[in-house]
Structure 1
């Protein structure tokens, strides 16, 4: 495992860099649950199987380096027995600027990196693969993101403001009240969020609340206590959201963390 700190100028764009290598084991599958960040996986091995809800009962995607938008359900990611990759986790507002496409085009999808970043994405993968150390690789990502941001448009200020309110409230703020403060119709609010974040604001707020509940469960809180602390009506309400966003129970969720190197879900 290797962790990298993004350049300070990327503070509002990048949450973290992680690099890792796994070898000598058998095939493995990991459960990724709904979250509020946009991962870029730069593959340096033999690629991944990726199964969203639409792939249940059919063959998963086979991808090398890829970008995954926000999802409102679990995704199963696997490798054949070895893996080596660099993961870049972007904030949704940062992803909108870096990727340069409406994030609705990536919602509940994983796509090859070239589909979003074009030839530049393929070149970045090649240069990262040629680098000798993880720190060199993280520096290459810093430079690539800074270059894309230099030509990117500004963030949607109203969405940024309202998303800040949603996050600060732990996902419990009233979405209708935010729309009223902005002077937007419900339809406009949804459209702007789909473009900038990828999912409707109400769903985003539910995922923010779900992430907070995940953190409390992993800290040892029981489901009833986590539900009360995080703004759920009751434990059953929490269990329904966990089932929808993770596909498992609150007890099982304690051992599941969003990262492709986690134990099998």
Structure 2
């Protein structure tokens, strides 16, 4: 494990641990978060082009989803989950990002998860609690990362992989930052546009068009968080103009580009996810 690093979110101080090497399972990224504050931590989750597991190690994390449901403990957020907030005090959490192709095999529910947040126990009814207990019973982040990687690898090996053509289409979208046309992807896979659209939606959970929007949005908001001007970000990210960028940011987050640029959720990304923002979904 790399040495712990610190990032600040208002009154909260985050101790962030990251693995010393990339995961041996392609498409998986992990980071450990410990939030220390005397006040309530309240974070709005910014959608990311990956399925995200929040493994609560202190039973202190409360997640509110778009529908108003509140869940305490370990949860899973599908692609483009909408307005999700995480809150609590003295939070200790292992966050795992899974590319949709990996999530399809590991969770066996990628399509059903799209736009939602569910309890991990709903997906792993016979394993979730034992998995969480194993993570809680060690204070070493290196050991926690190893435990999680073994559990994910085992499920990946026995799970259902998506069609190679679907996995290829997702990778090409990420590489092109959401700018690759569906017709071109269909031609490259050898499928018809209709077949690619249908199989992609069934296995990824989003249509190719919305998936491309999510990937493009992710690139744009990370550029905004890095201090770049909205007009420049819109031009370099493939938006028609600044109002088009504003529309997508509002659609995915309910915020303006100015507000999302200052979002605490994005402020820790360079520490927790030190590679180029889109890269974890490619691997």
TM-score (norm 1): 0.87
**Is the CA contact (8 Å cut-off) linking 1:50 and 1:61 kept in structure 2?**
yes
1:211 positional shift: 0.9
Cα RMSD for the two superposed structures: 2.3
Runs of 5+ in structure 1 lacking a partner? Answer: none
1:63 equivalent to 2:72? Answer yes
* Aligned counterpart, 1:226: 233
**Is the CA contact (8 Å cut-off) linking 1:102 and 1:194 kept in structure 2?**
no
Matches within 5 A, 1:79-90: 79=88, 81-90=89-98
Residues 64 and 260 of structure 1, relative CA distance in 2, 3 Å threshold: farther
1:14 equivalent to 2:31? Answer no
1:146 positional shift: 1.8
Which residue of the other structure, out of 123, 126, 135, is the alignment partner of 1:128? 135
* Aligned counterpart, 2:115: 108
Runs of 5+ in structure 2 lacking a partner? Answer: 1-15, 270-283
Matches within 5 A, 1:248-259: 248-256=255-263, 258=265
**Is the CA contact (8 Å cut-off) linking 1:77 and 1:260 kept in structure 2?**
no
Q: Distance in 2 between the 1:261 and 1:47 partners?
A: 20
Q: Distance in 1 between the 2:148 and 2:260 partners?
A: 31
Q: Distance in 2 between the 1:186 and 1:7 partners?
A: 34
1:73 equivalent to 2:82? Answer yes
1:212 positional shift: 1.1
Q: Secondary structure at the match of 2:85?
A: strand
1:111-163 Cα offsets, whole Å, 9 max, x none, are 11121122212111001111131111111111111211221233321111111
**Is the CA contact (8 Å cut-off) linking 2:225 and 2:267 kept in structure 1?**
no
Q: Distance in 1 between the 2:194 and 2:265 partners?
A: 31
Which residue of the other structure, out of 18, 26, 34, is the alignment partner of 2:39? 26
Q: Distance in 1 between the 2:65 and 2:249 partners?
A: 16
Q: Distance in 2 between the 1:95 and 1:5 partners?
A: 23
How many residues are matched? 254
Residues 261 and 212 of structure 1, relative CA distance in 2, 3 Å threshold: closer
1:250 positional shift: 0.8
* Aligned counterpart, 2:17: 2
1:14-61 Cα offsets, whole Å, 9 max, x none, are 02x211222342222211122101111111223333233322xxxx41
TM-score (norm 2): 0.82
1:46-78 Cα offsets, whole Å, 9 max, x none, are 3333233322xxxx4122111111125332221
1:158-192 Cα offsets, whole Å, 9 max, x none, are 11111122112211111233235545555543332
Mean Cα displacement is larger for which, 227-236 or 40-49?
40-49
* Aligned counterpart, 1:204: 211
* Aligned counterpart, 1:191: 198
Q: Distance in 2 between the 1:204 and 1:240 partners?
A: 16
